[in-house]
Amino acid sequence: MSDAKKNNWTIGEILQWTKQYFSEKGVENPRLDAEVLLSDIVKLDRLRLYVNFDQPLQQQELDRYRDYVKKRVMRLPVAYILGRKEFMGLEFAVNPAVLIPRPETELLVETVLKRLEGCQNPAILDIGTGSGAIILSVLKLLPAATGLAVDISPQALAVARDNADRLGVAERVTFRESNLLTALGEPDKPAGGFDAILSNPPYIKDEDIPVLAPEVGKEPRTALAGGRDGLDFYRLILQEAAGYLQPEGFLAWEIGAGQSEDISRLARESGWTVTDVLKDLAGIERVMVLIIGK
């Protein structure tokens, strides 16, 4: 497109051009993505873009915006391009070392907040914390809570630590590099055990990995791949978590579409009881709460 070389673009013209270009390249939400990326460059809310349609872009803005557009066309998710994602009304730093927090995961946080109502000083363990979105939201919203967050990836832990600092909860959370709970021991356990153990483990089946959207393919495979049937990490957590939980405590995790029945069976076989299964806004069983025993 020869237009792409032009230098005196206005906000309106460049939005129009990008929308067209993104659709040609198969980007799923061409208009939304163009707006979000341009907003970040010109430092205007999305709505304001339309009030400032005739404002010309400065050369430097144009260069940075072209870089964004190039990345998006290579199917890098918008959140990685901008380096941030909103979750539970909070802003989380993200990079390709961590899974991008999903809106449906907010249901896990909401469920946990409800269940912890009335618990004085809840101690929370998050397995596979990634960006820290789950546990850091809980800590932010429950000022008396403390947490331990583990992840196998030191790069992910660096992102989570950064987020803990930004959200002002760093003094209430400890981070540990660990493959599930294997690097933890008695000293990591609060007296009596954790009140809540949380996780959004990798749950995509091996056979589904090659057909993921190109954007999801840019996310860490270790955060997505759950083995042959997608349930590897549920099995392991059911084995490892019981020893870390208060007798009155609960385990709450996110599950993939269609996995509820199989996971409930695995839970029963390992001595857990499913107390709740919650559906997300798409009507998919997405969050499960479990306790030890019958």
Binding-site ranges for ligand GLN (CB under 6 A): 102, 200-204, 216, 224, 254
**77 or 147: whose CB is closer to ligand GLN?**
77
**102 or 235: whose CB is closer to ligand GLN?**
102
Q: What are phi and psi of 58, to 5 degrees?
A: -80, 155
**146 or 199: whose CB is closer to ligand GLN?**
199
Could you say which DSSP state residue 36 is in? Answer: H
Token pair 């299964």 is found at 277
Give the residue at shortest CB distance from ligand GLN: 203
**Is residue 132 a known part of a binding site?**
yes
Min dist. Cβ of residue 220 to ligand GLN (A): 10
**103 or 271: whose CB is closer to ligand GLN?**
103
CA atoms within 13 A on the CB side of 56: 7
* Amino acid found at 73: V
Rounded Cα gap, residues 35 and 43, in angstroms: 11
279: its two tokens: 């559906």
Min dist. Cβ of residue 157 to ligand GLN (A): 17
Query: Under DSSP, is residue 121 helix (H, G, I), strand (E, B) or coil?
Result: coil
Rounded Cα gap, residues 257 and 185, in angstroms: 33
Min dist. Cβ of residue 167 to ligand GLN (A): 22
**Is residue 105 a known part of a binding site?**
no
* Residue 120 CB coordination number (10 Å): 8
**Is residue 56 a known part of a binding site?**
no
Binding residues for substrate: 200-203
Binding residues for S-adenosyl-L-methionine: 128-132, 151, 200
Binding residues: 128-132, 151, 200-203
